Chain A
Amino acid sequence: MNILIRIKRFDPERDSKPYWDEFRVEADPIDRLLDTLNTIKWTMDGTLTFRRSCAHGVCGSDAMRINGRNRLACKVLMRDVGNKVTIEPMLGYAVIKDLVVDMDRFFEKYRSVKPFLITYDNEPGTERLQSQAQREVYDEGTKCILCGACTGSCPSIWGNPDWVGPASIVNAHRFIFDSRDQGAAERLQLLSRKDGVWRCRTIFNCADACPRGIPVTDLIEQVKRAIVYGGPEEA
């Protein structure tokens, strides 16, 4: 199939403003969009800049806005995008070049919610055991690959770059609802502040954008309830 690809491009060393660039590419319907971007970069225009690493939806580096919605280029098939594709960098992040956005603040906010196991008791002599039901409670959050698609799809972050964002809350949920963890209270304290969970207006763009199928908004709502009811629900 022959496809027209429109890409919003920007080179800070040369352009004062972003502009639309167009490429006509021959592609197989079961090629992924990432393959097509590679074809452009390798055979048509070597200056086209984007991130990718694993090419299999695991590393989370190629989130971008494809036909208006945040998707991973490596998980989108050409047959699903139509004859004309529009590709833009994600909203809500500063553009470094072409499709590459600055993720520094994203990871800063991720670290701010303490996404690691916190314990205060003496270390047990054996493993920290957990039932299947207890493991199930926070299963969704463990699937996150930190691609930033959810955070970049959220109107609250477009309006306020300081808001902690859905991805951080997903990763806080991962530990708040872990029966082995003892840091729930301090994380809930952090997330109940001005730029914490309450900036979420249940818009559900994040849940639609997540390439891992995580019900992002639902996890945020669980964290809101944990704040209101004074702690996570037990399994």
Chain B
Amino acid sequence: MPEHQSHSYCLKAPPPASRIEEEMYKGQSGMWSWLFHRISGLGILLFLFIHIVDVSMLSFGPGVYNQSVVLFDYVVVRLLSLALVIAVLYHTFNGIRIMAIDFWRKGSRYQRAMFGIVLAATIIVFIPMAYYIMGPAFQWLTQAPHAATTGH
């Protein structure tokens, strides 16, 4: 037993300078819904800046623009697009939930059920969108071998 745990009255040895792990507050669905809402909101904001940059490439002419948007074809960037889609969908549906809590008298009472609906709606709408975003990245799987070598 470490020294500081010997429970003598008053004259306990000073505790070791051990680091104390902070434990997170065990909030329920409401806390997670808020945390995801803030993270998704900030994530979308980040994309907005990127979007302004990629669209502004047009002012350097179609060549530059076409070259720069090829970026969105990379598999990594397609995966990031998936994250963006999830964030937008969640933020939108949960934003509607928050407004229902704010303006509908029974909103607070049904907030947990509404969170379930938000998650379900996010996933249901996400699946077809994910199919269209990731589909082209897997063309080499579905196409005949000679077509794959021709590339884009």
Contacts and interface: CB of A to CB of B under 8 A. Distances in A.
Given A224-B102, A225-B103, 4 more contacts: A20-B20, A202-B101, A205-B30, A208-B30
Interface of A: 8-9, 14-23, 44-47, 65, 67-69, 86, 88, 91, 153, 155, 201-205, 207-208, 215, 217-218, 221, 224-225
Task: Say whether chain B's binding surface is mostly helix, strand, loop, or mixed.
Answer: loop
B72 interface: no
A153 B25 contact: yes
B7 interface: yes
Contacts of A217: 30, 101, 108, 111
Interface stretch (B10-18, B121-129, B131-139): B10-18
A201 B12 contact: no
A204 B111 contact: yes
Contact of A8 (B4, B20, B25): B20
Contact of B9 (A17, A45, A215, A218): A45
B84 to A, nearest CB: 23
Most chain B beta-carbon contacts within 10 A, residue among A15, A201, A204, A224: A204
B14 A15 contact: yes
Task: Say whether chain A's binding surface is mostly helix, strand, loop, or mixed.
Answer: mixed
Contacts of B111: 202, 204, 217
Interface in B29-43: 29-31, 33-34
Contacts of A224: 102
Interface string B52-76: 0000000000000000000000000
Question: What 9 pairs between A and B have smallest CB-CB spacing?
Answer: A204-B30, A68-B26, A218-B108, A19-B15, A45-B7, A203-B34, A205-B27, A44-B7, A69-B26
B118 interface: no
Interface in B65-110: 98, 101-103, 107-109
Contacts of B108: 202, 204, 207, 215, 217-218, 221
B10 A19 contact: no
A91 B23 CA distance: 11
Contacts of A88: 23
A16 B20 CA distance: 12
Contacts of A86: 23
Nearest to B27: A205
